[in-house]
Structure 1
Amino acid sequence: MRFLHITVALQTAAIFVQSITAGLMMTLPHGHVLHSAGSYTLWVVTVAHLVAAVLAWRPGGGPLRPVWFAAGFLALITAQVYAGVFHLTALHVPLAAALLVGSVLYLLRIRSSLRRSSRRHPERVAAVSR
């Protein structure tokens, strides 16, 4: 579950950085290079998020819901990359905002479930932190 939390935090940070590089793309002559590199980095982080969700579900015995969320994020991030490549700004910008909000909300949800789990099973947290 900790790996899932880390990958979702990285994904959320990468989406936030993408909003910054989008602004740089409009103001700097080569800002599009940063935005493009960030988009592919975000896609790789989202794949890692899916892998972490599957690992938390299958061998870890966790719930299936995070796998569906991760698969949904991967589908939306892939659509986002294609919308950017084909300059579909009317789709690209609102989808970016929705992805940022969704990722932040999902990160908060995972953090709260991690806290609840640590309160219910403090011995597991002590074993993991060693």
Structure 2
Amino acid sequence: MVMATHTKLLHAIVVLQTAAVFVQSITAGLMMTIPSGHVLHSAGSYTLWVVTVAHVVVAVLAWRPGGGSAQPIWYALGFLALITGQVYAGVFHLTALHVPLAAVLLVASLLYLLRIRSSLRRNTRPRPAAAAAYR
């Protein structure tokens, strides 16, 4: 029961993280078209960083008290390292690194979201009675 709750919470934070990465691509476009776009993009980057730190916390909660796998922690820490690098690349205007890394972050977050979603479906499916009786 606790593990399912933590898995759902992990799913929710990764949905939020993926949405924040996607919104960042929109604010990047706004940054190029409107004068105040850089403020939105900057605020979004720090918001995404905080969401990613929350992702690390939730991954630890899903692992330790929930009895789940430690694998989500490594993903969350890796994503945090990449997001931190992304923030620094943006602050120092390293566009040649910043733009491709943004694409990698969006794809990685989306793929991880799909993986968690399929895991969540697998764990919440009712087992057939014959399989339950066999165990």
Residue 119 of structure 1 aligns with which residue?
125
2:77 is aligned with what amino acid? A
Instruction: Provide the C-alpha distance between the structure 1 equivalents of 2:15 and 2:56, rounded to a whole number of angstroms.
Output: 13
2:58 alignment partner, one of 52, 76, 92: 52
Q: Does 1:76 align with 2:78?
A: no
Instruction: Provide the C-alpha distance between the structure 2 equivalents of 1:111 and 1:48, rounded to a whole number of angstroms.
Output: 19
- The structure with more radius of gyration: 2
Residue 65 of structure 1 aligns with which residue?
71
Instruction: Provide the C-alpha distance between the structure 2 equivalents of 1:20 and 1:54, rounded to a whole number of angstroms.
Output: 31
Structure 1 length-normalised TM:
0.92
1:5 alignment partner, one of 4, 11, 20: 11
Residue 102 of structure 1 aligns with which residue?
108
Instruction: Provide the C-alpha distance between the structure 2 equivalents of 1:29 and 1:11, rounded to a whole number of angstroms.
Output: 26
- Aligned sequence identity (%): 79
Shift of 1:57: 0.2
Instruction: Provide the C-alpha distance between the structure 1 equivalents of 2:125 and 2:8, rounded to a whole number of angstroms.
Output: 15
Instruction: Provide the C-alpha distance between the structure 2 equivalents of 1:5 and 1:50, rounded to a whole number of angstroms.
Output: 12
Q: How large is the Cα RMSD of the aligned pairs?
A: 0.8
Q: Does 1:89 align with 2:95?
A: yes
C-alpha offsets along residues 65-84 of structure 1, whole Å, 9 cap, x if unaligned? 00000000000000000000
Q: Does 1:41 align with 2:52?
A: no
C-alpha offsets along residues 81-123 of structure 1, whole Å, 9 cap, x if unaligned? 00000000000000000000000000000000000000157xx
Structure 2: runs of 5+ lacking an equivalent = 1-6, 128-135
1:21 is aligned with what amino acid? T
Secondary structure of 2:69 counterpart: coil
Instruction: Provide the C-alpha distance between the structure 2 equivalents of 1:120 and 1:109, rounded to a whole number of angstroms.
Output: 19
Instruction: Provide the C-alpha distance between the structure 1 equivalents of 2:54 and 2:13, rounded to a whole number of angstroms.
Output: 7
Instruction: Provide the C-alpha distance between the structure 1 equivalents of 2:75 and 2:126, rounded to a whole number of angstroms.
Output: 24
Residue 24 of structure 2 aligns with which residue?
18
Instruction: Provide the C-alpha distance between the structure 2 equivalents of 1:11 and 1:120, rounded to a whole number of angstroms.
Output: 29
Structure 2 length-normalised TM:
0.88
Residue 32 of structure 1 aligns with which residue?
38
